[in-house]
C-alpha cells in the first residue's frame, strides 16, 4: 500500500493521513474450514446522516443480527436491534434492509414467512428504531394486509415516510393494487396519499415525495403498463403499454428530471446502458453512460433522486464509475492509499464528510473503514472475518477460453496458494441463476476449496448476465446442453494450459449450479469423478409447474424455455443409467427451489438401484433456506463436501484442512434423508 504525503486535495478535503499496515501473513498450512464458514462479522454498513452512528448486520454467536453502533460515545458497544436467526421461529421477523432517515432514527424493512390462500409468501412491514431512546415504532402496521413497503423518506423537517401497502378489508380481488400512506415516524400517525387503483401494482415517488408513476405487469401475459404524471397531483397518463421481452424491458424511468424527462436503463443497443428519455415521445434523447461489451449493473442516484452519483459496473471486477466530482475525488484518495480496486465506498453521511469504505480484494475478506475527508483520519471499524483479518489467500484472476463452438467465455480462476499451479485437481463451480455472473471477488466457496488444494474455475457460460442481451438469451433451449458444454470446455482449457488434471475433476454448484452439477453426474459421468448439487433443480417440468404458480405463466417461461424437451434434460427423469457419485444438499425451508426437487431425485436414485453412501449422499438441512443464512449450515456443508471430495477426488491437502475444522454431522446442523 502506498504512503500518503500530508496535503489537501483541491483544498476540499484531506487525504488519508497514515500508511496502512502490511497484510497479516497467511500460515504455511491450510486454514481450518470453520474459518471460511463464518458469517461476515460486519456487512451492509450504513452511516447515519450526521456521521455519528452506524447500522450494520453483525455476527453474534454464529448467527446474524442487526446492530447500531454509536460513533460519538467512547467505548460504545453495538446495540442489537433484531436477531435474524429467529426468522423461522413463531412470529419471527428477519430484517431485509435499513436506511437512516435522520441522525438518530433508522427505518428498517422486515419480512415474516406466512401463508396466503394456502401458498407461502413473505409478509413485509416497516419499523423505525431510535438509537437514543431505543424505542421501536411500527409504521403503518394497523390496517395493513400482508405487505407494506418503503417508497420514500423525508430529508428535512419531522421524519416522514411514504409506504405502499395492501389495505385490510378490501378482499382478494384487489390483492395486487396497493394504496399509499404517509406515516409520521415519531408518532406513527398516518394519512392516505393515494388510493388503490386498478392496473397499478407498484407506485413510485420522486425525491420530493410526489407520487409520479404507477406500474402494472400481468404475470400471465407479460404485458407492462406504466402510468405517469408531471407533478405530485393531477391525472396520470399511459406512457408504456407493451408485452415485455424476456431479456429487454421497456425504458421504465428510474429518476425524474425537469421538463417531462427521465433517466432509464435500456438494452435496446444490445447492452444495458443509462439513457435520458423524453416522456412525451418515449424517445431516447441522450446516452448518459454505457460500457463496451458489458451491461451496467446499477445506478446510484443522489439523495434528491434527480441526478446520478455513480454507476456500478462489472468487467473482470466490480467497481463504481463516480459521476459526482466529490465522490470521484474521494475514490481516487482511497485508491492511492489502499491500491487501485481495493477500496469501495459503501456509505456516506449527508455532507459526505464521513465515508464508509470496504477494503479487500478477491483473495482478501478485508475490513470496513471510516474515513473523515476533512481531517484525513482513517479508522478500522471491523474485519469482515477476524480470523482472516487482511490475509491474502488464494490468488484469483480472470481467464478467457474458447468453447468447442468457438465462442469466447470469461471465467474466474482461483488457484491454491500452497501448491504449484500444475496438474491440479479441479472443481468446476457454476454460478446460480443462470441469469447471474461471477467476477473477481471474495468467494465463500472458491476460497475454502482452493485452500484444500483444488483449482476452482467459475465459467460465465451462456445465459450469464452482464455480457449483453444476446449472451443472456443464449440460455433459451440450452439448459443441460450447450450451457453444459461450456462448463466442460473449461476443463479442456485448463488441462491444455497444464494447470489442471482432466482426470481429477468434480463439479459443485448451488441453485442453477446445483442443476448443472446433477446434470453433469447424469450426462457426463466419464468426465467427472463426482458432483455436489446444492439446492438444485432436478426435474424441470415439475419446477415449471411450481414457478407458474409462483411467477405466473409468463414469468415461468424463464425456465420453461430452457430446452425444447424439458424432460430430456432433467436428471431426475434419467436415474437408471450410470451416474458419477453425487452429494445432494438441500434446505428444508427453501422457498425458491422446493426441497421436493432433491427428495424426488433421491427417491428415484434409490428406485433405480443406486446405493446411498456409495452412489449418492443426501444432506437435508432442517433450518436452511435457499441462501444458507446460518453459520452451522455453512459449516456442515463445507465439512460434508470435504469428506465427499476426499473419497472421490482427493487433493492431498484435504485431510489437513479437515482435521482442524468442525464438528461432524450431528453435532451441528442435522443430516437427514427423506422418507423411503
Lowest mean pLDDT among 7-16, 69-78, 609-618: 7-16
The runs of H, that is alpha helices, within 180-277 are none
| Half-sphere exposure in the Cβ direction for 227 (13 Å, CA) | 17
Task: Give the Cα separation of 35 and 52 in Å (integer).
Answer: 32
Which residue's C-alpha cell is 424437451? 565
Q: Which of 463-467, 628-632, 671-675 has the highest mean pLDDT?
A: 463-467
Determine whether domain 511-629 maps to CATH 3.40.50.1820.
yes
Q: Which of 442, 392, 380, 387 is nearest to 59 (CA)?
A: 387
Residue 150: pLDDT band with limits 50, 70, 90: very high
Q: What are phi and psi of 620, to 5 degrees?
A: -110, 125
> Going by C-beta distance under 8 Å and a sequence separation of 6 or more, which residues neighbour residue 650?
425
Lowest mean pLDDT among 92-101, 110-119, 244-253: 110-119
Residue 289 Cα distances to 286, 304, 307, 312, angstroms: 9, 20, 13, 11
Q: Which of 496, 619, 630, 476 is nearest to 561 (CA)?
A: 476
pLDDT at 564: 57
In the predicted model, what is the mean pLDDT of residues 497-502? Answer: 98
Q: Which of 42, 103, 62, 77 is nearest to 358 (CA)?
A: 42
Q: Cis link prior to 434 (omega < 30° from 0)?
A: yes
In the predicted model, what is the mean pLDDT of residues 562-588? Answer: 91
Q: Say whether pLDDT at 655 is over 90.
A: no
Lowest mean pLDDT among 83-92, 134-143, 479-488, 512-521: 83-92
In the predicted model, what is the mean pLDDT of residues 645-659? Answer: 72
The runs of H, that is alpha helices, within 161-265 are none
- pLDDT 10s digits, 14-40: 666 555 567 888 999 999 999 999 999
pLDDT at 398: 98
For 341: left if phi > 0, alpha if psi spans -120 to 50, otherwise beta; the answer is left
Hey, which CATH number is domain 394-510, 3.40.1280.30, 3.40.50.1820, 3.40.50.2300, 3.40.190.10? 3.40.50.1820
| Half-sphere exposure in the Cβ direction for 125 (13 Å, CA) | 21
Give strand pairing partners of 389. Answer: none
Residue 116: pLDDT band with limits 50, 70, 90: confident
Grid cell digits, residue 489: 470446455
Grid cell digits, residue 442: 471474495
pLDDT at 232: 83
Q: Say whether pLDDT at 13 is over 90.
A: no
Task: Give the Cα separation of 112 and 48 in Å (integer).
Answer: 26
In the predicted model, what is the mean pLDDT of residues 313-327? Answer: 97
Task: Give the Cα separation of 577 and 636 in Å (integer).
Answer: 30
Residue 251 Cα distances to 210, 281, 349, 558, angstroms: 20, 12, 31, 20
Task: Give the Cα separation of 207 and 256 in Å (integer).
Answer: 9
Task: Give the Cα separation of 316 and 278 in Å (integer).
Answer: 34
pLDDT at 558: 59
In the predicted model, what is the mean pLDDT of residues 609-613? Answer: 97
- Which helix (H) or strand (E) segment is 335 a member of? helix 325-338
- Mean pLDDT of the residues in the chain: 90
pLDDT at 129: 96
Count of helices and strands (H, E) across the chain? 11, 37
Higher pLDDT, 546 or 197: 197
pLDDT at 583: 98
Q: Say whether pLDDT at 614 is over 90.
A: yes
Share of the chain above pLDDT 90, in %: 77
Q: Say whether pLDDT at 394 is over 60.
A: yes
Q: Taking the domains of the chain in order of start, what are their residue ranges?
A: 394-510, 511-629
Q: Say whether pLDDT at 368 is over 90.
A: yes
Concatenating the DSSP letter of every residue in 117-157 gives: TTEEEEEEEEEEEETTT--EEEES-TTEEEEEEEEEE-SSS
Task: Give the Cα separation of 30 and 660 in Å (integer).
Answer: 9
Amino acid at each position: 500500500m502506498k504512503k500518503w504525503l500530508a496535503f489537501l486535495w483541491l483544498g476540499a478535503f484531506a487525504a488519508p493521513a497514515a500508511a496502512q499496515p502490511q497484510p497479516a501473513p497467511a500460515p504455511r498450512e491450510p486454514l481450518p474450514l470453520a474459518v471460511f464458514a463464518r458469517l461476515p462479522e460486519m456487512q451492509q454498513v450504513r452511516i447515519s446522516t450526521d456521521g455519528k452512528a452506524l447500522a450494520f448486520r453483525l455476527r453474534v454467536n454464529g448467527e446474524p443480527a442487526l446492530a447500531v453502533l454509536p460513533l460519538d460515545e467512547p467505548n460504545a458497544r453495538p446495540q442489537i436491534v433484531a436477531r435474524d436467526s429467529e426468522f423461522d421461529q413463531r412470529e419471527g421477523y428477519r430484517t431485509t434492509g435499513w436506511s437512516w432517515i435522520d441522525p438518530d432514527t433508522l427505518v428498517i424493512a422486515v419480512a415474516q414467512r406466512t401463508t396466503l390462500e394456502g401458498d407461502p409468501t413473505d409478509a413485509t412491514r416497516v419499523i423505525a428504531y431510535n438509537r437514543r431512546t431505543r424505542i421501536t415504532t411500527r409504521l403503518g402496521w394497523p390496517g395493513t394486509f400482508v405487505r407494506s413497503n418503503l417508497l420514500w423518506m423525508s430529508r428535512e423537517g419531522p421524519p416522514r415516510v411514504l409506504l405502499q401497502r395492501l389495505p385490510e378489508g378490501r378482499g382478494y380481488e384487489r390483492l395486487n393494487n396497493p394504496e399509499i400512506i404517509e406515516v409520521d415516524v415519531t408518532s406513527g400517525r398516518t394519512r392516505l396519499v393515494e388510493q388503490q387503483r386498478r392496473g397499478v401494482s407498484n407506485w413510485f415517488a420522486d425525491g420530493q415525495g410526489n407520487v409520479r408513476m404507477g406500474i402494472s405487469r400481468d404475470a400471465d401475459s407479460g404485458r407492462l403498463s406504466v402510468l405517469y404524471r408531471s407533478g405530485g397531483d393531477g391525472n396520470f397518463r399511459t406512457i408504456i403499454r407493451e408485452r415485455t421481452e424476456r431479456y429487454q424491458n421497456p425504458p421504465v424511468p428510474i429518476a425524474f428530471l425537469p421538463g417531462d424527462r427521465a433517466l432509464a436503463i435500456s438494452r435496446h443497443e444490445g447492452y444495458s446502458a443509462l439513457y435520458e428519455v423524453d416522456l412525451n415521445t418515449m424517445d431516447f434523447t441522450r446516452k448518459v453512460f454505457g460500457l463496451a461489451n458489458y451491461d451496467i449493473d446499477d445506478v446510484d442516484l443522489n439523495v434528491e433522486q434527480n441526478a446520478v452519483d455513480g454507476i456500478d459496473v462489472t468487467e473482470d471486477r466490480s467497481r463504481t464509475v463516480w459521476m459526482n466530482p466529490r465522490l470521484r475525488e474521494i475514490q481516487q484518495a482511497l485508491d492511492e492509499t489502499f491500491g487501485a480496486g481495493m477500496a469501495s465506498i459503501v456509505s456516506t453521511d449527508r455532507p459526505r464528510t464521513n465515508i464508509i469504505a470496504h477494503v479487500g480484494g478477491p483473495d482478501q475478506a478485508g475490513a470496513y473503514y471510516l474515513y473523515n475527508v476533512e481531517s484525513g483520519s482513517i479508522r478500522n471499524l471491523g474485519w469482515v472475518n477476524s480470523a482472516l483479518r487482511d490475509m491474502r489467500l488464494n490468488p484469483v484472476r480472470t481467464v478467457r477460453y474458447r468453447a468447442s463452438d468457438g465462442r469466447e467465455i470469461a471465467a474466474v480462476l482461483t488457484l491454491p496458494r500452497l501448491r504449484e499451479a500444475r496438474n491440479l485437481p479441479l472443481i468446476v463451480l457454476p454460478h446460480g441463476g443462470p441469469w447471474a455472473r461471477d467476477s473477481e471477488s471474495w468467494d465463500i466457496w472458491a476460497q475454502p476449496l482452493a485452500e484444500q488444494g483444488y483449482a476452482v474455475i467459475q465459467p460465465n457460460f451462456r445465459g450469464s448476465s452482464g455480457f449483453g442481451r444476446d449472451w443472456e438469451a443464449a440460455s433459451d433451449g440450452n439448459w443441460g446442453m450447450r450451457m453444459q458444454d461450456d462448463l466442460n470446455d473449461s476443463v479442456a482449457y485448463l488441462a491444455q494450459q497444464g494447470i489442471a488434471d482432466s482426470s481429477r475433476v468434480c463439479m459443485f454448484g448451488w441453485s442453477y449450479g446445483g442443476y448443472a452439477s446433477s446434470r453433469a453426474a447424469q450426462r457426463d459421468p466419464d468426465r467427472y469423478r463426482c458432483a455436489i448439487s446444492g439446492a438444485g433443480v432436478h426435474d424441470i417440468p415439475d419446477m415449471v409447474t411450481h414457478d407458474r404458480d409462483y411467477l405466473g405463466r409468463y414469468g415461468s417461461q424463464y425456465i420453461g424455455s430452457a430446452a425444447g424437451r424439458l424432460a430430456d434434460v432433467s436428471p431426475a427423469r434419467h436415474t437408471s443409467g450410470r451416474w458419477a457419485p453425487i452429494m445432494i444438499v438441500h434446505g428444508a425451508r427453501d422457498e425458491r427451489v422446493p426441497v421436493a426437487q432433491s427428495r424426488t431425485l433421491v427417491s428415484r436414485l434409490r428406485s433405480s438401484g443406486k446405493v446411498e453412501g456409495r452412489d449418492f449422499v443426501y444432506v437435508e438441512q432442517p433450518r436452511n433456506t435457499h441462501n444458507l443464512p446460518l453459520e452451522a449450515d455453512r459449516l456442515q456443508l463445507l465439512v460434508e463436501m470435504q469428506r465427499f471430495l476426499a473419497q472421490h477426488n482427493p487433493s492431498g491437502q484435504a485431510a489437513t484442512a479437515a482435521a482442524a475444522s468442525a464438528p461432524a454431522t450431528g453435532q451441528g446442523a442435522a443430516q437427514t434423508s427423506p422418507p423411503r
